[in-house]
Structure 1
Amino acid sequence: MIRATRLEDDMPARAAADREPWIRSLRPASGHAVKLLCFPHAGGSASYYVPLARSLPEFVEVYGVQYPGRQDRFADPMIDDLFVLAERIHEVLTPLLDGPVAFFGHSMGATVAFEVIRLMEGKGQTPPVRLFASARRAPSRSRDDGVHRLDDKGLVAEVSALNPSAAHAFADADFVSIVLPALRNDYRAVERYRCTEGATVSCPITTFLGTEDPKVTESEVRAWAEHTTAGLDLERFSGGHFYVEDHWRRLAAELTRRLT
């Protein structure tokens, strides 16, 4: 669990994050120029982004979204509808919107971030300065691969194949019993999601892709261009779906370059 760090000169957004179960302050910044809000992947949590927060420069204040049903929110009812999840997150974002903000989402998190931006724009709120969409096919390319309907053994095998570095953890029965409900819930949400036809956002989008990703193709990533009126760029990284775990520093550099 990642708690917000209290400083004597706490900003209102940071104080609100202390009280808000949905948002975690991962790295406060002094005199920050931009806030970065990070959306986790299926089964993931806000603390996944601690290495990224530590790698970013001081002018970036980093926050993570904490979905219900995991870590300190283990007892909170999970949400298996991405539109509803986006609505709940949007409801608590106002304290963070007092200055420039950017969104980063990995895998499922990129789609959730996209839908939150659409809600912001629908309410007349200033959109993020940029959406960073990592290891995720464009919203219009969503599909049902049937992963959420696999039995427990099949689901574990699927996730282990996507992230081999975590395969050893799934050999622990206690660990599996804790994380499997959230994984199944999130896969159900992702695989049932269908983007509204013609949906776009007005902020630029940067996409990141692992060149050996078994689930996401470059053409599916480039299709994000259909969902922004402000332009798209793409960066490739060596590695698979969880390439980020080998490239936190380079990823931070790519984010910094676009946020400066």
Structure 2
Amino acid sequence: MNSKLFVTPKPNPNAELRLFCFPYAGGSPTIFSSWIEKANDNIELVFVQLPGRGARLVEPAIDNMSDVIEELMFYRDYLTSKPFAFFGHSLGSRISYALASQLLLENLPTPQKIFASASRAPHCKSGKRILHALPHDEFIAELRDLNGTPKEVLESKELMELLIPLLRADFKIADTYVAEQRALPLPIHVFHGSDDEIVDEHIAAWQELTTQPYQLTEFAGGHFFIHQYADEVISIINQQLA
């Protein structure tokens, strides 16, 4: 697969299944780098790299869900060419649900499972403060409070000038996208940080989006527990996709 949209850090053509990984707002495929040597041999990891980050840094970031899904669906043949599953963290969880819904609508194969991490259910409107349109200084302050952007990046004017358009675009999707409620015929496993102040009570509403088994695993951490518990998360995924 030559598209910059999909990064396969360790090609595994003999794998039985692909796990497509969707990062959080402002995130790039590097957030999953620790998984590369820890995924089971039956899994080929594929990191989703949307415009505005990584090797696509010079491309304008997308600021609405419909265009994100349109780009992903352009590669529907690759997405569905062998059994697959989705993992998403925060905004990435909602993108994975939207993509699975679109595949279902087009009568195409759907993921064997969705792992939804640190995200409210996508059919629930956010009750939190709208971030993407804040004035520059307030936006930076909110990013600092979210604790997902490294301090050295926040303090670099040059880096932030590059990243602000991407971050505003991603947060616009996160702030505004509300999915049509559609129960998918596939299991959903939700990961949640017990101290996550960003995700509210809508975490439990994920069970309304599946006709199959629903599971919830809680970690003792905040919104970005995925960094602290990377080994535990990939271990659970390995077990469930074995």
Q: If the length of structure 2 is used for normalisation, what is the TM-score?
A: 0.94
Report the Cα offset of residue 65 of structure 1: 0.8
Report the Cα offset of residue 114 of structure 1: 0.5
Distance 1:229 1:84 in 2: 27
Distance 1:60 1:180 in 2: 34
Do the aligned partners of 2:143 and 2:149 also contact (CA within 8 Å) in 1? no
Give the ranges of 4+ consecutive aligned residues of structure 1 lying more than 3 Å apart after TM superposition: none
Q: How many residues align?
A: 241
Q: Secondary structure at the match of 1:133?
A: strand
Structure 2 unaligned regions, length at least 5: none
Alignment of structure 1 residues 21-40 onto 2, 5 Å: 21-29=4-12, 31-40=14-23
Whether 1:156 aligns to 2:140 is: yes
**More deviation, 87-96/98-107:** 87-96
Whether 1:244 aligns to 2:226 is: yes
Whether 1:57 aligns to 2:40 is: yes
Distance 1:172 1:127 in 2: 42
Letter in 1 for 2:99: V
Structure 1 unaligned regions, length at least 5: 1-15
After superposition, the C-alpha distances for 1:189-228 in whole angstroms (9 at most, x for unaligned) are 12111211x32221110000011111113x3111001111
Do the aligned partners of 2:131 and 2:171 also contact (CA within 8 Å) in 1? yes
Candidates 141, 166, 169, aligned match of 1:185: 169
Letter in 1 for 2:198: K
Aligned to 1:12: none
Q: Secondary structure at the match of 1:63?
A: strand
Aligned to 1:104: 87
Q: Secondary structure at the match of 1:149?
A: coil
Distance 1:162 1:172 in 2: 17
Aligned to 1:141: 124
After superposition, the C-alpha distances for 1:92-129 in whole angstroms (9 at most, x for unaligned) are 13124222100000000110110111111111111110
Aligned to 2:158: 174
Candidates 45, 58, 65, aligned match of 2:28: 45
Candidates 97, 101, 110, aligned match of 1:118: 101
Aligned to 2:75: 92
Q: If the length of structure 1 is used for normalisation, what is the TM-score?
A: 0.87
CA gap 1:34/1:121 in 2 versus in 1, 3 angstroms:
same
Letter in 1 for 2:39: L
Distance 1:168 1:20 in 2: 31
After superposition, the C-alpha distances for 1:101-158 in whole angstroms (9 at most, x for unaligned) are 0000000011011011111111111111000000000012232621012122222222
Whether 1:76 aligns to 2:21 is: no
| Identity level (%) | 27
Letter in 2 for 1:86: I
More helix by share: 1
Do the aligned partners of 2:187 and 2:214 also contact (CA within 8 Å) in 1? yes
Report the Cα offset of residue 164 of structure 1: 5.9
CA gap 1:147/1:178 in 2 versus in 1, 3 angstroms:
same
Candidates 217, 223, 235, aligned match of 1:235: 217
